[in-house]
Amino acid sequence: MEKITSLAKRRGFIFQGSEIYGGYQGFWDYGPAGVEMKNNIKKEWWKYTVYDREDVVGIDAAIIMNPTVWEKSGHLKAFTDPLVECKVCHKRVRADNEEAVADHEKTHKDKKDIWTEPKTFNLMTEVLLGTTEPKEKSYLRGEITQGAFVDFRNVVDSTRVRIPFGIAQIGKAFRNEITPGNLTFRSREFEQMELEYFVKPDEEDSKKIFEYWKEKRKRWYEDLGIDPKKLRFHDHEPEKRAHYAKYATDLEYEAPFGWSEFEGIHHRGDFDLGNHNLSYRDNLTGEEYTPWVIETSGGVDRAMLFFLIDAYREDGERIYLKLNPKIAPYKVAVFPLLANKPELLAKAKEIYKNLKQKLNVVWDDRGNIGKRYFAQDEIGTPWCVTVDFESLNDATVTVRDRDSAKQERIAIDNLTEYFQNKLAA
């Protein structure tokens, strides 16, 4: 994790939020490379979940909702974590975070019975709205899920969707986490990508759909480069499921800090639509019922963190990120062999501008060619284009592959097609 954290800052992926003022625990900023990679992940998820299907539509619900939403959903009562406080220094940690509890106990080796009894701690983040006192208390959403439910009727009435269908969205959520940690893994501000898939209330069919979405979500990560050996499902035992869940499983990744959840697949039954008194009427058959919901809920920040961890490679002195080109921050880097030669600089700029019309391309003319390759390897750029003196004579350039470090000469006129074919492979 130290290597990943260092690389993430050094190459512009992730910065500590408000770092010049000492930072703010649980909040992170995404730098130039980070925001590109994060957007690529979201783009691939949206394509896979919405554009490639005929039964899913998207929404973008508000972050702040009428407080009644959270009362009906049960968040004001049940959205809690167990909290214990150290009797010696009064530090608070989650009682179920065994690592945090053990680490803190090491600081008080000579003490026994240092913890208070666990108390429930609500994770909802309060906000005050209005221009006059008393202001109205509301909440930053603790999950984006409820947006799909409160907009359910509007979506059905304004589109041609028929059950089974899904509502997808990507958006920010906020939780008043007690012990943020492991870079962006546990944060107070984070982004989710979720699908709420509505089905008929049928036990057998809904179980099949639940299993279908489990495999679809796992395959998505594998197709984008995550090592299948580092992925597993952790099915919730009946006694450990949320009270509304018929089935629940976590998709986990074997991170340096242990197996960790980064997406949940849940069979929520009719709990949510039922609590909001919403039903569905089939306009062809006249049948009316409260749909059941199969949910896939993934963390954008956690996914990106695990993509970075999984892609990290050391090959002797060389460090590179073996990212799938689809989610790599930049697809191609372009640079002149020598930055102080006007003719090379002009030709490289011309190629850069032409490629930039179709691809996300980065320009680099700092230092020598070796340092530029080194920097682009650490960013995870799949291909580097170098314009040299030979390019001026035969209209070809050197294209270097990130993973193999092999080079080949490609005609300048063929570059766009060459990279588009590579990305489509």
Residue 12 clears pLDDT 80, i.e. is over it: yes
Six-digit token pair at 336? 């002149």
121 phi-psi bin (left φ>0, alpha ψ -120 to 50, beta other): beta
CA angle 367, 369, 372 (to 5 degrees): 70
pLDDT at position 134 is 86
Residues 170-175 have a mean pLDDT of: 95
pLDDT at position 290 is 97
Local structure of 288: helix, strand or coil = strand
Give Cβ neighbours of residue 339 (< 8 Å, ≥ 6 apart): 345, 365, 366
pLDDT at position 80 is 65
Local structure of 112: helix, strand or coil = coil
CA angle 387, 389, 392 (to 5 degrees): 80
Q: Is the model more confident about 346 or about 78?
A: 346
Q: How far apart are the first and last CA of the chain?
A: 31
C-beta separation of 390 from 378 below 8 A? no
pLDDT at position 89 is 83
pLDDT at position 180 is 76
Q: Is the model more confident about 183 or about 241?
A: 183
Rounded to 10°, the helix 32-46/300-311 angle is 110
Q: Percentage of the chain with pLDDT > 70?
A: 98
Domains of the chain: 2-79+124-310 (3.30.930.10), 81-122 (no CATH), 332-424 (3.40.50.800)
Separation of alpha carbons 413 and 315, rounded Å: 33
pLDDT at position 43 is 98
pLDDT at position 173 is 95
Residue 243 clears pLDDT 70, i.e. is over it: no
Bridge partners, 167 (sequence order): 57, 196
Six-digit token pair at 385? 């284009």
Q: How many CB atoms lie within 10 A of CB 117?
A: 8
Residues 12-31 have a mean pLDDT of: 95
Residue 225 clears pLDDT 70, i.e. is over it: yes
Residue 319 clears pLDDT 70, i.e. is over it: yes
Residues 110-132 have a mean pLDDT of: 83
pLDDT at position 78 is 66
Residues 404-414 have a mean pLDDT of: 96
Bridge partners, 189 (sequence order): 174
Residues 324-333 have a mean pLDDT of: 98
Separation of alpha carbons 181 and 183, rounded Å: 6
Of 37-46, 120-129, 361-370, the least confident: 120-129
Residues 224-250 have a mean pLDDT of: 88
pLDDT at position 79 is 64
Q: What is the pLDDT of residues 84-104, one digit of tens each?
A: 888 888 777 877 777 778 888
Residue 297 clears pLDDT 70, i.e. is over it: yes
pLDDT at position 178 is 67
Residues 280-288 have a mean pLDDT of: 92
349 phi-psi bin (left φ>0, alpha ψ -120 to 50, beta other): alpha
Give Cβ neighbours of residue 15 (< 8 Å, ≥ 6 apart): 9, 28, 29, 30, 31
Confidence class for position 82, pLDDT limits 50, 70, 90: confident
Residues 109-136 have a mean pLDDT of: 84
